[in-house]
Structure 1
Amino acid sequence: MGLQRATIAVDAMGGDYAPDEIVVGAIRAAAELDVNLLLVGDRERIQACIDEHGGADTERLEIVSAEGVVTMEEKATSIRRKPKASINVAMSLVKEQKAQAVVSAGHSGAAMSAALLRLGRLKGIDRPAIGAVFPTMIPGKSVIVLDVGANMDCRPKYLEQFALMGTIYSQYILDVDEPKVGLLNIGEEPGKGNELAVQTHKLLQDNSAIPFVGNAEGKDVLSGNFDVIVCDGFVGNVLLKFAEAIGEVMLNIMKEELPKGWRGKVGTALLKPNLRNIKQRIDCAEHGGALLFGVSGVCIISHGSSHAPSIFNAIRMAKEAVEHEVIEKIEAYNQQHREEIKETASAN
């Protein structure tokens, strides 16, 4: 696309296995992806990790000092008391245009609060949303679900905005020419669900900018029949955690069902490539993390228990979002939609 190399700020102190796993994932990304990485956090600890796990191309790695971290036990509001914490410094790098994206496996609430405080919301977006990419039963096809945790209580217009942002992501990142948008509900009929679902269904149906195809039941989420599914953050987070558990359960069951003894060892050896492929399809770590939609910058929130492969994929995800100018396209899309609404109102 003729763009200069993306620079991504990585919160090296965020996550259960920071900084080691974060740095290892970043070292791999520096070697395999065309990106510059700013590792934010305790300089001595990060440098020690680079020295231990180096051997790759580390010229694209730069350490940016930060003081402290917002732990998982703290409230998200702790970011105000810790202005020099790694997540705050990482967000400031984007605000100061020294980086185009942030990747963090730390406190998700703190990451969202820091993004809102330092980057601000996109014009026309009332609430940010966390969008997670799920695998589907169709090989090579994914579905993005949002919100999966940013907003426990939603209004219909929030879900409408989520649908608009998800449509953009599906088109430009997941390469879906004509995304099919669904509303997560307890039935396919338009009148099903609570008041939020009924009102949201009408908004989505009446919005010509959203390729809405109808309600999606729980069984439809991974069917491949939808490209974008919207819901409130309470339901979405339950869905996300359930999906993560299902993947692990399936792998464990398959391993337990293999024969014991020498036959089991032979069978495991023969099935190893297949088991690896299955893991890649159902493991959320393969997608790296979730994009925080609705803020003025690319922010990828990874799972707190992320290991190096997940961090690598989160950086890849951030790189794609930057290079495809997802934030700029969402802004333009929203502006066009608002102008169309004004024109329609004036005509009437």
Structure 2
Amino acid sequence: MRRVSKITAACAVTAALALTATACGESSTGDSGSDNGDIKVGMAYDVGGRGDNSFNDSAARGLDKAKAELGVETKELTAKTGETPADREQRLSSLAEGGFNPVIGVGFAYKDAIDKVAAKYPKTTFGLVDSVSEAKNVDSIVFTEEQGSYLAGVAAALKSKDGKIGFIGGVDTPLIKKFAAGFQQGVKDTKPAASVTIQYLSTGTDFSGFGAPDKGKAAAKGMLDKGIDVIYAAAGGSGAGSIEAVAGKPGTWAIGVDSDQAKDPALSKYAGSILTSVVKNVDTGVYELVKSVKDGKPMTGTHTYSLAENGVSLTTTGGHVADIQAQLDAAKKKIVDGQIKVATTL
């Protein structure tokens, strides 16, 4: 068992589930399902929801495993583009009011809503993915995205023919900039002469950049037209569009994010163009939280899943990085040992 900051982790993750429900007009899905009915888990996804082939799907795998192995009842709700902060509060409140415990908000956009709702339901344990809450009944599940992205940068630099590399971020938030910062550092440390073009699909409070594959495809095409031959997209569901664009141009590479995108059924036809993926094991954090509640010892506080603990990692599906694995392993060791300090800001 690997260690997570402040705790001893419970397990790993994976599986599958169903859905139905309605709140705030968002797309939703829900299920009932447990024979014992003693634990009901509420999941509030970010824009794109289950089926985004990326971030939300990683969280969904954790929920699926909890259902399969722990026999919990589940309900899933999904944010929609353009909703208000009040919509997120209502979504979380409806789950807590319905007796779901824990209630998990997937994505930093739930931070303010969880701060408010957690105070109203002190006996409910909340999970917050990708941000930190100071509330006493919240488990803040965070990752060292910059470390996994650094390794992706090393891979990109070694695989690019001319040193022209691209990064597509869903939204220009501090979290996504962590991905960009680590990636750029990995590229530059490996090949100082290489260039990294950075582009965001939306800005500010407009989170549509996480659920717009057409925007991802257009951004990637623009980069490819400029001679960029390796593109890393940290953009949720929009990344699928970027991968599609790259697959349409032989000799170029896409780098996936959050899930092993080469293994995703919806993207498998593009697997030959996916160099690697930076996996963020949101599923592990979700499963461990649910198990802790079931065991009567709810996790709270901040739990950081790092490269050293396999909280983030680089996939090897397809064998596309086999020829540079030694360099990747060396870079990972330096990060884990503290020889390389990965930046979190550009």
TM superposition score normalised by structure 2:
0.30
Structure with the larger helix share: 1
Structure with the larger strand share: 2
TM superposition score normalised by structure 1:
0.30
Bigger CA radius of gyration: 1
